[in-house]
């Protein structure tokens, strides 16, 4: 291929990858399989390597990240990014409404948007091309993080129309990405991020863009700072304009004709916020008319035409009485605070995470301290601070032990890690935690084998490894506390059923370091049998998409251990399936299922299926599951309380199935 041909092909590849990326990251309606996208991206990278003078600033290759920056430059915002006034209750919202109507008249409508918990950024485009991305900073001066923002797939590098425009948005980390990141950090013995907001901000403020590129960030555009050549009359119209330009705009934004509608919107999302795949901490309320924005103007700090309704804070005070040490399945020793019982986010909390010794020192935590506790992501309680002014002098310093609290082996801190580890592979705590992980929902999913039952089995020496679960006998189980005949029969049936699980569940359950549920499925899909995976070389593993050097090295090391070979042989002899039973590559190409080529949205509460089970069925039968309804959606499966997604599907004219219709279609396809 000569240079002229290369230039032509590069243009084709960039247009294709730009279009595929837009459908995947913005519309949630993938056009092609991931493997095809990766193939085209690799072709683009190779051509750009061969012809570096043909590389452009808006090439999809910049998503991968460039060289590290020595520091971030300060940049001034042409239009200040002002903060919003706050409303904390219904009366505050009504007072805001009264002030607005007094200034502009009675006929006022509003736009309500979710208040995303991420990092506010400004994106500047000239003639449709991204030229700068900056943090909000103090509202007047921010930091230039253009190279990091270029790695976020939801941010268009080139607009669908060549406008010169400054766009404001919120960069955020989806909950699923946050969980994967913290799981990897935990396995590496590194300090975990406290919440998705900190993770997003920390990722975008890395000097090395390659780190940001790996963090699976996204962005919602929510307003226009300024634009040349476009006259928009309302805020809602500006959101639709941003959507036309190729930005990801949150679909839960709604026009509200009265303050009563606004209050109903805040109540709805206060209750349903945990259903979202990203974090929110409130609702932003804006006057819809941009002409009214001009009339209302600004205070010294904030616009008079908008306010932020903040959900009630879930931080409470209590006393830390003691610190307990827990040994995880990877040997990491984690300190846990034992607290005076306190109500947080609707549940009583007695224990909270302290993460590691360095954090205890950093926060200056002492036994007897009055501490601030909150639920990270409204799920995991953690100690976030200490009230030192409440100290009486009777508080006691805490020191981490030098020995494992379970097996008394010497604790070690590996190079580059903050966590203390027990490196004894026969440590009872690690074995017990490994067993609990093995039977968990995303692994072998053995119903009835909870933490208490596992602990009993381990205590009575009925199991020493995961394979022993398949050798349990009815009579010995009946001897255990609170294990009646029916419970034992159900448990044995669940254990027997788990033998048929597909390979990826077993792989994840084995707890191989760095191998999460997604990587386990990728490995199972690629190698299809445990035997082939055991024989895979480092190079073969590295050739698999999404498998990096650390993971490949960990997998090779794991299967080289003699005790692992013994364990796998024991599992196979017990009848545990060692083969991937999902759709094979060849089968996907040859046989189309009932959902073949269809984009499906699941919404509402399903009674016969978990979301994960339903998604797996759809994918096995040729479909793709996305999280939002658009014109590209082919089918919506609606359970109870389906809400806005069902309404949107009805308005667009998309086919809607009940759960019963879905179940019937799956059963017919499997006959």
Going by C-alpha positions, the residue among 277, 253, 250, 249 that lies closest to residue 265 is 253
pLDDT in the model for residue 642? 81
Q: How far apart are the first and last CA of the chain?
A: 51
Summarised one tens digit per residue, pLDDT across range 305-320 is: 999 998 875 678 899 9
Weakest-pLDDT range from 386-390, 408-412, 641-645: 641-645
Q: pLDDT: is 606 or 434 the higher one?
A: 434
Alpha carbons 584 and 532: distance in angstroms, whole number: 15
Alpha carbons 367 and 349: distance in angstroms, whole number: 17
What number is the average pLDDT over the span 153-159?
Answer: 94
Alpha carbons 662 and 309: distance in angstroms, whole number: 39
What number is the average pLDDT over the span 479-484?
Answer: 88
pLDDT in the model for residue 624? 77
Weakest-pLDDT range from 17-31, 260-274, 316-330, 410-424: 17-31
What number is the average pLDDT over the span 470-491?
Answer: 92
pLDDT in the model for residue 586? 47
Alpha carbons 572 and 372: distance in angstroms, whole number: 50
pLDDT in the model for residue 66? 55
Active site residue 115: yes
What number is the average pLDDT over the span 560-578?
Answer: 95
Q: Which of 48-52, 238-242, 415-419, 440-444 ranks highest by mean pLDDT?
A: 238-242
Q: pLDDT: is 29 or 370 the higher one?
A: 370
Q: Judge contact between 111 and 235, C-beta under 8 A.
A: yes
Q: Which of 11, 74, 115, 570 is catalytic?
A: 115
Alpha carbons 468 and 313: distance in angstroms, whole number: 47
Give binding residues for Zn(2+) as ranges. Answer: 404, 407, 422, 427
Residue 430 reports pLDDT greater than 90: yes
Going by C-alpha positions, the residue among 312, 345, 374 that lies closest to residue 89 is 312
What residues contact residue 300 under an 8 Å CB cut-off, 6+ apart? none
Weakest-pLDDT range from 324-333, 360-369, 597-606: 597-606
Alpha carbons 603 and 611: distance in angstroms, whole number: 9
What number is the average pLDDT over the span 513-537?
Answer: 91
pLDDT in the model for residue 33? 64
Alpha carbons 155 and 498: distance in angstroms, whole number: 43
Summarised one tens digit per residue, pLDDT across range 283-308 is: 999 999 999 999 999 886 789 999 99
Going by C-alpha positions, the residue among 513, 529, 659, 512 that lies closest to residue 582 is 529
pLDDT in the model for residue 584? 65
Summarised one tens digit per residue, pLDDT across range 167-209 is: 999 999 999 899 888 888 877 777 777 778 888 888 898 888 8
b/e per residue 206-237 (b: at least 16 CB within 10 A): beebebbbbbbbbbbbbbbbebeeeeeebbbe
Instruction: Give me 115's structure tokens.
Output: 């208040």
Give binding residues for NAD(+) as ranges. Answer: 34-38, 83-84, 113, 136, 170, 286, 310
Give binding residues as ranges. Answer: 34-38, 83-84, 113, 136, 170, 286, 310, 404, 407, 422, 427
- Confidence band, pLDDT 50/70/90 cuts, at residue 378: very low
Which residues make beta-bridge pairs with 134? Answer: 122, 144
Domains, the chain: 3-64 (1.10.287.610), 85-310 (3.30.470.30), 315-401 (2.40.50.140), 428-573 (1.10.150.20), 587-669 (3.40.50.10190)
Q: What is the β-pairing status of strands 306-310 and 85-87?
A: parallel
- Confidence band, pLDDT 50/70/90 cuts, at residue 668: confident
594: left (phi over 0), alpha (psi -120 to 50) or beta: alpha
Alpha carbons 21 and 32: distance in angstroms, whole number: 10
| Dihedral sign (CA 48, 53, 54, 60) | positive
Instruction: Give me 595's structure tokens.
Output: 């959902």
What mean pLDDT value characterizes the chain?
A: 88
Going by C-alpha positions, the residue among 441, 576, 564 that lies closest to residue 512 is 564
């Amino acid at each position: 291929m000569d240079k002229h041909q290369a230039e032509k092909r590069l243009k084709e590849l960039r247009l294709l990858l730009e279009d595929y990326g837009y459908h995947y990251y913005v519309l949630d309606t993938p056009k092609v399989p991931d493997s095809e996208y990766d193939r085209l991206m690799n072709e683009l990278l190779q051509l750009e390597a061969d012809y570096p003078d043909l590389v452009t600033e808006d090439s999809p290759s910049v998503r991968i990240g460039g060289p590290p920056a020595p520091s971030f430059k300060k940049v001034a915002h042409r239009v200040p990014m002002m903060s919003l006034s706050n409303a904390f209750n219904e009366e505050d919202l009504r007072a805001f409404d009264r002030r607005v109507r007094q200034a502009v008249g009675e006929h006022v409508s509003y736009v309500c948007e979710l208040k995303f918990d991420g990092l506010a950024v400004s994106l500047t485009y000239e003639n449709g091309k991204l030229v700068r991305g900056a943090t909000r900073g103090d509202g007047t001066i921010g930091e230039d993080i253009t190279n990091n923002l270029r790695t976020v797939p939801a941010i268009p590098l080139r607009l669908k129309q060549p406008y010169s425009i400054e766009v404001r948005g919120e960069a955020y980390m989806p909950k699923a990405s946050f969980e994967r990141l913290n799981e990897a950090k935990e396995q590496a013995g590194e300090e975990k991020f406290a919440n998705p907001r900190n993770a997003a901000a920390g990722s975008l403020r890395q000097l090395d863009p390659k780190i940001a590129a790996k963090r699976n960030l996204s962005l919602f555009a929510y307003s226009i700072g300024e634009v040349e050549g476009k006259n928009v009359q309302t805020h809602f119209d500006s959101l639709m304009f941003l959507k036309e330009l190729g930005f990801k705009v949150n679909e839960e934004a709604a026009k509200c004709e009265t303050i009563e509608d606004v209050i109903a919107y805040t109540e709805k999302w206060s209750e349903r916020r945990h259903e979202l795949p990203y974090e929110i901490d409130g609702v932003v309320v804006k006057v819809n008319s941009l002409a009214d924005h001009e009339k209302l103007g600004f205070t010294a700090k904030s616009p008079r035409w908008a306010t932020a309704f903040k959900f009630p804070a879930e931080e409470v005070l209590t006393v830390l009485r003691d610190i307990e040490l827990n040994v995880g399945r990877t040997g990491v020793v984690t300190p846990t605070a034992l607290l005076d019982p306190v109500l947080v986010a609707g549940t009583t909390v007695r224990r909270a995470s302290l993460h590691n010794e360095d954090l205890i020192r950093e926060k200056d935590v002492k036994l007897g301290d009055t501490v601030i506790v909150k639920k990270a992501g409204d799920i995991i309680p953690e100690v976030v601070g200490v009230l030192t002014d409440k100290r009486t002098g009777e508080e006691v310093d805490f020191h981490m032990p030098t020995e494992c609290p379970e097996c008394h082996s010497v604790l070690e801190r590996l190079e580059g890690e903050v966590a203390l580890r027990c490196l004894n592979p026969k440590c009872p705590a690690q074995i017990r935690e490994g067993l609990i992980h093995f039977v968990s929902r995303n692994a072998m999913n053995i119903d009835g084998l909870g933490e208490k039952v596992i602990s009993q089995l381990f205590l009575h020496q009925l199991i020493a490894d995961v394979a022993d679960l398949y050798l349990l006998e009815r009579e010995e189980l009946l001897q255990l506390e609170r294990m009646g005949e029916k419970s034992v029969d159900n448990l044995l049936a669940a254990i027997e059923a788990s033998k048929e699980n597909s390979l990826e569940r077993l792989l994840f359950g084995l707890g191989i370091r760095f191998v999460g549920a997604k990587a386990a499925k990728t490995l199972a899909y690629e190698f299809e049998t445990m035997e082939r995976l055991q024989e895979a070389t480092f190079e073969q593993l590295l050739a698999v998409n999404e498998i990096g050097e650390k993971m490949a090295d960990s997998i090779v090391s794991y299967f080289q251990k003699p005790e692992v070979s013994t364990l796998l042989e024991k599992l196979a002899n017990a009848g545990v399936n060692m083969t991937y039973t999902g759709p094979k590559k060849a089968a996907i190409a040859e046989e189309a299922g009932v959902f073949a080529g269809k984009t499906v949205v699941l919404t509402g509460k399903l009674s016969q299926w978990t979301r994960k089970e339903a998604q797996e069925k759809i994918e096995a039968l040729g479909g793709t599951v996305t999280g939002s309804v658009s014109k590209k959606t082919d089918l919506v499966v609606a359970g109870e309380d389906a809400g806005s997604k069902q309404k949107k599907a009805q308005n667009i004219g998309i086919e809607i199935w009940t759960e019963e219709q879905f179940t019937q279609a799956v059963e017919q396809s499997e006959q």
